[in-house]
């Protein structure tokens, strides 16, 4: 009787073994921290003097290496003083070690506070602190940080009125 029971158990076990197979598949996703940008320093063309009847141009390098004055424009303030020209600076934070792009307007109008007349800034350009050669692009570091600077060119035509000119520079950053 015992032998019969033993034999009967054998095939049942084999049947159980062949029937199932388990596997663990996988789902994956890369969730990236949003990219943020904050203004650290405004773009300023400083205080300049314009000779009567003539125009000129102020060019601020995005790398901060120099500011160039052409035509009849001359800076009043010394370099490094609060009224001197300087590039804009922005801080970027986001996912570590990711490439990002910088969006700048083609042209930025500025308006005289008193007179309401307009001047124009163009040739806006950017350079990131870590990779200045990339142009309007950068890469966050291991901690997810970077910064970039913006320069441009202010056209001051002959006959421009003395005033304090202002405009809003909107920059956008985006992941590649």
Closer Cβ to another protein, 20 or 82, answer by number: 20
Closer Cβ to another protein, 17 or 82, answer by number: 17
Longest dimension (CA), the chain: 123
Region of 174 please: left (phi>0), alpha (psi -120 to 50) or beta.
beta
Q: Figure out which of the listed residues 1, 21, 80, 168 binds another protein, where binding follows CB under 8 A.
A: 21
* In the complex, minimum distance from the CB of residue 97 to another protein, in angstroms, rounded to a whole number: 11
b/e sequence 25-35, b meaning 16+ C-beta within 10 Å: eeeeeeeeeeb
Per CB under 8 A, does 33 bind another protein?
Answer: yes
| Alpha-carbon radius of gyration of the chain | 32
Q: Figure out which of the listed residues 20, 82, 133, 170 binds another protein, where binding follows CB under 8 A.
A: 20
Per CB under 8 A, does 143 bind another protein?
Answer: no
Q: 3-class DSSP state for residue 15?
A: helix
- From the list 137, 139, 104, the residue with the least C-alpha distance to 122 is 104
Closer Cβ to another protein, 19 or 168, answer by number: 19
Distance between CA atoms of residues 31 and 125, nearest Å:
30
Q: Figure out which of the listed residues 14, 76, 77, 158 binds another protein, where binding follows CB under 8 A.
A: 14
Closer Cβ to another protein, 4 or 29, answer by number: 29
The interface with another protein within residues 66-125 (CB under 8 A) comprises 95
* In the complex, minimum distance from the CB of residue 127 to another protein, in angstroms, rounded to a whole number: 23
């Amino acid at each position: 009787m015992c032998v019969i029971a033993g034999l009967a158990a054998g095939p049942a076990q084999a049947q159980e073994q062949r029937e199932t197979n388990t596997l663990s598949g996988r789902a994956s996703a890369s969730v990236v921290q949003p990219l943020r940008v904050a203004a650290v320093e405004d773009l300023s063309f400083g205080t300049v003097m314009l000779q009567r009847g003539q125009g000129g141009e102020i060019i601020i390098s995005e790398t901060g290496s120099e500011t160039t004055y052409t035509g009849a424009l001359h800076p009043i303030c010394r370099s490094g003083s609060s009224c001197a020209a300087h590039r804009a600076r922005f801080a970027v934070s986001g996912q570590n070690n990711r490439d990002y792009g910088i969006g700048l307007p083609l042209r930025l109008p500025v308006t005289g506070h008193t007179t309401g007349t307009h001047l124009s800034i163009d040739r806006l350009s950017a350079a990131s602190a870590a990779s200045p050669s990339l142009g309007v692009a950068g890469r966050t570091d291991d901690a997810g940080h970077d910064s970039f600077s913006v320069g441009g060119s202010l056209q001051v035509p002959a006959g421009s009125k003395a005033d304090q000119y202002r405009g809003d520079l909107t920059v956008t950053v985006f992941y590649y």
